[in-house]
Amino acid sequence: MLTTENTKIGFIGTGVMGKSMALNLLNAGFPLMVYTRSKNKAEDLLEKGAEWAQSIKELAEKVNVVISMVGYPSDVEEVYLGKDGVIPNASENTYIIDMTTSTPTLAKNIYEEAKKKGIKALDAPVSGGDIGAKEGKLSIMIGGDEEDYSALIPVFNKLGTNIVYQGNAGAGQHTKMCNQIAIASNMIGVCEAIIYAKKAGLDPENVLKSISSGAAGSWSLSNLAPRMIQGNFEPGFYIKHFIKDMRIALSEAKQMEMDVPGLQLAESLYTKLAELGEEDSGTQALYKYWN
């Protein structure tokens, strides 16, 4: 099992969620090396003792655990499979954990390529947004070999509280698609409920007191509806990344010959918002579609 004494973690991607996740590992005592395209995004971590890597190649050569939290499947592919990426440059028995929401197919490909070099790969996407990342209370959905998951539990425990091994490579990503499908339709309902409350002349904050702990309760209703009411559309999770996730889920559903009308509607609404310049807003900005 990995401990702070025998582990050096390399963290790639210090955006809205990645920075908080990396900080939790650093605060837990894990030696940490970081790489991100814009070094200024890692300054807080460097000031607290993290080591800077000049490249992904350098990072891969100097750590025994790599965690990535980047934007798109194309970024994941570059990070792990590129000539100067992790798999071509990491040592045997290195653990690699992609926590980006990406495609199940890519997760399986990374696993197979890593296995050829004796590298241990897990796909471990997360849910919980910026709040879950800051508080170390993310839900983590894990695919790969169970023995590798077991070895990494001390690391996962510093990032989340709902940590579930889902099965073979790609299973984590498939589980995240289930999560995003559920959120997509739920976000429409949350927005419509708040708009309805306003149009009915009610106090939306008071309405939340009644409905957020009842049968209508959800994470989005409790955490994102208050932001909508306050006019706070800062990203805990970017619209552009949610659109990416929904399109992955739509593609996977199509391959399974599954009809997903709720997901299709949500993707179309978010796409309209992105076209209006809201792609860098938080997912709660769906509220603007009505307001």
pLDDT of residue 236: 87
Query: Mean pLDDT over residues 115-133, rounded?
Result: 95
The CATH number given to 9-169 is: 3.40.50.720
Query: Mean pLDDT over residues 32-44, rounded?
Result: 93
For domain 175-289, the question of CATH label 1.10.1040.10 is answered with yes
pLDDT of residue 22: 97
DSSP states along 236-251: SSBHHHHHHHHHHHHH
Helix (H, G, I), strand (E, B) or coil at 140: strand
Q: Is the pLDDT of residue 72 over 90?
A: yes
Query: Mean pLDDT over residues 50-60, rounded?
Result: 97
Burial zone of 1 (CB within 10 Å; 0-12 exposed, 13-18 middle, 19+ buried): exposed
What DSSP element (H or E) covers 165? strand 160-167
pLDDT of residue 267: 98
Q: Is the pLDDT of residue 1 over 80?
A: no
Helix (H, G, I), strand (E, B) or coil at 175: helix
Is residue 5 very low, low, confident or very high in pLDDT (cuts 50, 70, 90)? Answer: confident
Q: CB 95: neighbour CB atoms within 10 A?
A: 24
Cα–Cα distance for residue pair 211/54, rounded to 1 Å: 50
Q: Is the pLDDT of residue 221 over 90?
A: yes
- Which residues belong to the active site? 176
Helix (H, G, I), strand (E, B) or coil at 216: coil
Is residue 4 very low, low, confident or very high in pLDDT (cuts 50, 70, 90)? Answer: confident
CA R_g for the chain: 19
Residues 68, 107: contact at Cβ < 8 Å? no
Helix (H, G, I), strand (E, B) or coil at 66: strand
Enumerate the H helices of 14-122 as residue ranges: 18-27, 43-47, 56-62, 73-81, 86-89, 104-116
pLDDT of residue 54: 96
What are the CA-CA distances from residue 174 to residues 18, 21, 27, 245, 251 (Å)? 21, 22, 31, 11, 12
Query: Could you read off the pLDDT of 161-190 as tens digits, one per residue?
Result: 999 999 999 999 999 999 999 999 999 999
Q: Is the pLDDT of residue 80 over 90?
A: yes
Q: Is the pLDDT of residue 3 over 90?
A: no
Query: Could you read off the pLDDT of 156-167 as tens digits, one per residue?
Result: 999 999 999 999
Cα–Cα distance for residue pair 291/133, rounded to 1 Å: 29
Cα–Cα distance for residue pair 285/56, rounded to 1 Å: 34
| Every domain of the chain and the residues it spans | 9-169, 175-289
